[in-house]
């Protein structure tokens, strides 16, 4: 049976996600505080609901894409919330990035109503939603995961069952740690390039082009553990090579920064932690930097 989907929150992320559900069998009911936003969906055949409770009267799988924990709580368990009318067996899916503790708390409240709860944050932004290529990280029971896989496939081409409730959020937080730390490292690279008299817009083009080919930071995220790599392991020569190249290039960038008077704190952290993070230990360049001695 194809569940009817409800979608609450038609903002920057919710709008393109919901649009991808318009042609899906089973039907769509939408809800947003701004009536003018809803018209696009009703003109295309969706039903409109004034409150989350009214959505739950119609839908069995209900997606939520609102701003923060407080709004999610209100949508789920407020006076006009989903749980006022939700049918037993319904699934509530929160796509907002909230606290994993909030997800676990709401899952307990939903369970008392015989309603499943999944935290299902997404990665890929509005462009990914428009193209239907989001990644969704789902925390919840296997039963709930199987229920949401089909409708989520309208806006995502990677749907991962991260674990129990809260695991989807924890995976999203780890993913976004990389995302925004990389943004900060990018600003450091821009400062270095600008001090060297380079066109930093052209540098941006190079970064986007090469990351699309190599996979960027995700290219090294291939192992199922962060433990140190033992002798004879397949990954040892591969990641040792990556460490050696990285330490060389980082040390050259740091020398350039020193000459130009540009502080590079992210580069300092990277050269100290790269080999250890890869599981292969520090290489000769980082070891020399730490000890002040000669490379091994």
Active site residues per annotation: 172
DSSP state of 225: -
φ/ψ region of 17 (left if φ > 0, alpha if ψ in -120 to 50, else beta) reads: alpha
Q: Measured between alpha carbons, how far is 248 from 34 in angstroms, rounded to an integer?
A: 54
Residue with tokens 């462009």: 127
Q: Measured between alpha carbons, how far is 268 from 91 in angstroms, rounded to an integer?
A: 47
Burial annotation 173-198 (CB, 10 A radius, 16+ → b, else e): eeeeeeeeeeeebeebbbbbbeeeee
Q: Phi and psi of 274, rounded to 5°? A: -60, -60
Closest alpha carbon to 50 in 28, 35, 67: 35
Check if the beta carbon of residue 282 is closer than 8 Å to that of residue 276: yes
Q: How many CB atoms lie within 10 A of CB 89?
A: 12
Q: Measured between alpha carbons, how far is 193 from 263 in angstroms, rounded to an integer?
A: 12
DSSP state of 51: S
What's the farthest any 2 CA atoms get from each other in the chain?
72
């Amino acid at each position: 049976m194809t569940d009817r989907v409800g979608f609450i929150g038609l903002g920057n992320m919710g709008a393109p996600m919901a649009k991808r559900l318009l042609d899906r069998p089973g039907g769509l009911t939408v809800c947003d505080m701004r009536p003018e936003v809803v018209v696009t969906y009703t003109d295309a055949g969706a039903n409109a609901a004034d409150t989350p409770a009214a959505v739950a009267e119609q839908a069995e799988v209900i997606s939520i894409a609102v701003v923060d924990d407080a709004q999610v709580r209100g949508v789920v368990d407020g006076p006009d919330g989903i749980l006022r009318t939700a049918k037993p067996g319904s699934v509530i899916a929160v796509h907002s990035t909230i606290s994993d503790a909030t997800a676990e708390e709401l899952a307990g409240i939903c369970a008392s109503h015989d309603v499943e709860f999944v935290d299902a944050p997404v990665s890929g932004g509005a462009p990914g939603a428009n193209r239907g290529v989001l990644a969704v990280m789902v925390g919840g029971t296997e039963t709930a995961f199987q229920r949401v896989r089909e409708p989520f496939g309208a806006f995502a081409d990677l749907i991962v069952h991260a674990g129990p409730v809260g695991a989807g959020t924890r995976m999203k937080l780890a993913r976004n740690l990389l995302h925004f730390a990389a943004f900060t490292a990018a600003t450091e690279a821009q400062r270095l390039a600008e001090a060297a008299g380079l066109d930093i817009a052209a540098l941006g083009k190079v970064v986007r082009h090469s990351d699309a080919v190599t996979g960027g930071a995700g290219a090294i995220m291939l192992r199922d553990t962060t433990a140190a790599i033992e002798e004879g392991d397949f990954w040892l020569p591969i990641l040792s090579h990556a460490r050696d190249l990285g330490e060389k290039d980082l040390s050259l960038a740091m020398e350039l920064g020193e000459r130009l008077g540009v502080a590079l704190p992210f580069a300092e952290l990277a050269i100290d932690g790269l080999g250890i993070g890869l599981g292969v230990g520090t290489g000769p360049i980082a070891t020399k930097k730490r000890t002040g001695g000669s490379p091994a």
